[in-house]
Copies of this chain bind each other. A is one copy, B any other.
Amino acid sequence: MPTIRIQTEAFDSGAEMAAISRNRTDIGAVASFVGLARDMNHGDDVRAMVLEHYPGMTEKVLAGLVDEARSRWALLDVTLIHRVGRLLPGDAIVLVAVASTHRGEAFSACEFIMDYLKTQAPFWKKEETEHGARWVEARASDDTAAARWTGS
By a beta-carbon cutoff of 8 Å, the part of chain A in contact with chain B is 12-19, 21, 23-40, 89-90, 92, 101, 103-104, 106-107, 110-111, 114, 141, 145
Contacts and interface: CB of A to CB of B under 8 A. Distances in A.
B30 A34 contact: yes
Contact of A107 (B15, B26, B30, B107): B107
B35 A104 contact: no
- How many copies of the chain does the oligomer comprise? 2
Contact of A32 (B32, B90, B141): B32
Contact of A17 (B17, B24, B38, B89): B17
Given A14-B18, A17-B14, A114-B103, A36 B28 contact: yes
Given A31-B32, A33-B107, A145-B104, A38 B18 contact: no
